[in-house]
Amino acid sequence: MIDAGALVLGIETSCDETAAAVVAGGADVLSSVVSSQVDLHAAFGGVVPELAGRAHLELLTPVVDEALGRAGLDGGAGLGAVAATVGPGLIGSLLVGVSEAKALALAWGLPFAGVNHLEGHLFAGLLEYPELQWPLAVLLVSGGHTLLVAMDGPGRYRPLGATLDDAAGEAFDKVARFLGLGYPGGPAIEAAAAAGDPAAFAFPRAMLDDGLDLSFSGLKTAVVHAVRRAPDASDEDVAASFQQAVVDVLVTKAVRAAQEAGAAGLCLAGGVAANGALRAAFGAACDELGVPAYLPSRAMCTDNAAMIAAAGWWQLAHVGPTPLDAGADPDLRLPLLA
Ligand code: KG4
Ligand code: ZN
């Protein structure tokens, strides 16, 4: 078992951010370094897995050194454990972080924690709002996942709803690519939308009145058809109308999830939760519902290693270390209660 205040080095390399952080007692972020590979992949319009893996190899050691240095540590002295994302994600990228974390744990004689990336995102809210109450409804919206879960506490997740097709972030990325706005799509759409009319196009809000599952592939297709029908339409108007449709669906479903789960609060997590329009609408909806809105800072919503270190500390304190012969799993799922 790990000390209550132990310092955990977290490592995150599941996709296109190379990140390392040191977190004390699963709660205090002493350092958090994120090196984005955006420039490397931008020319290709999306993440190129082979390039991502190679870039992680080059970047990870300096990023770890910087995280240790900023936390005032010299090498492994003073650390209590090493945690790394073991999945889901790109296998070639995951393996870089997992191998480095295991090697460091072995060399420094420390326990290793293999962390689920999705669970890491759920810890972002806990890191920034230690006072939050259970049960919590969480809307996790990232590039590959869109999930609604009820959280009864760390490690105790009940499924409420999920996308039946594209993830919300995937829809942002695909629409941005179609409009030629570049990669990564979410920030590009958000920037274009700021100068557009969200009511210019009446895009569909799939399954709005229907349960807690979601669907975004029809919306993406509707955008393509609308632009082909109106080739002179401004990208700003299309982006703003698309973003509004996504936000309307996400907020409606999140509020319904909070009501069904009898949640004491609603939390946002994942890269799409950095979106300003979503954050504003989510906050307003929570005010109306009379429950606190937990909005982790933008840097904590997108991929980072502080959330991985926090989840790793909790895992070591309550479950135990991960054996060093455990591998990475690109298709790992969030462990859910029945
Ligand atoms: O959580 P994350 O950083 O990585 C994954 O685990 O996937 O999420 C990345 C996703 C991408 O689809 C990206 O376009 C989206 O989050 N995203 C945004 C914004 N910033 C990042 N989507 C909408 N608005 C943003 N400002
Ligand atoms: Zn992520």
Regarding the beta carbon of 144 and ligand 1, being less than 6 Å apart is answered yes
Burial of 144 (0-12, 13-18, 19+ CB in 10 A): middle
Task: Please tell me the distance from the alpha carbon of residue 255 to that of residue 275, in angstroms, as a whole number.
Answer: 18
Q: Are 39 and 59 in contact (CB under 8 A)?
A: no
For the CA of 17, the closest atom of ligand 1 is 3
Task: Please tell me the distance from the alpha carbon of residue 180 to that of residue 188, in angstroms, as a whole number.
Answer: 10
Q: Are 33 and 67 in contact (CB under 8 A)?
A: yes
pLDDT tens, residue order, the chain (338 aa): 799 999 999 999 999 999 999 999 999 999 999 999 999 999 898 999 999 999 999 999 999 999 999 999 989 999 999 999 999 999 999 999 999 999 999 999 999 999 999 999 999 999 999 999 999 999 999 999 999 999 999 999 999 999 999 999 999 999 999 999 999 999 999 999 999 999 999 999 999 999 999 999 999 999 999 999 999 999 999 999 999 999 999 999 999 999 999 999 999 999 999 999 999 999 999 999 999 999 999 999 999 999 999 999 999 999 999 999 999 999 999 999 97
Task: Please tell me the distance from the alpha carbon of residue 219 to that of residue 95, in angstroms, as a whole number.
Answer: 35
Regarding the beta carbon of 87 and ligand 1, being less than 6 Å apart is answered no
Q: Are 227 and 234 in contact (CB under 8 A)?
A: no
Q: Is 195 helix (H, G, I), strand (E, B) or coil?
A: coil
Regarding the beta carbon of 243 and ligand 1, being less than 6 Å apart is answered no
Task: Please tell me the distance from the alpha carbon of residue 313 to that of residue 155, in angstroms, as a whole number.
Answer: 12
Query: How far does the centroid of ligand 2 lie from the alpha carbon of residue 282, in Å?
Result: 20
Backbone CA torsion sign across 280, 286, 287, 289: positive
Query: How far does the centroid of ligand 2 lie from the alpha carbon of residue 114, in Å?
Result: 15
Regarding the beta carbon of 37 and ligand 1, being less than 6 Å apart is answered no
Separation in Å, CA 335 to CA 116, 151, 197: 9, 12, 40
Regarding the beta carbon of 16 and ligand 1, being less than 6 Å apart is answered no
Total-model pTM:
0.97
Q: Please give the DSSP secondary-structure letter assigned to residue 154.
A: T
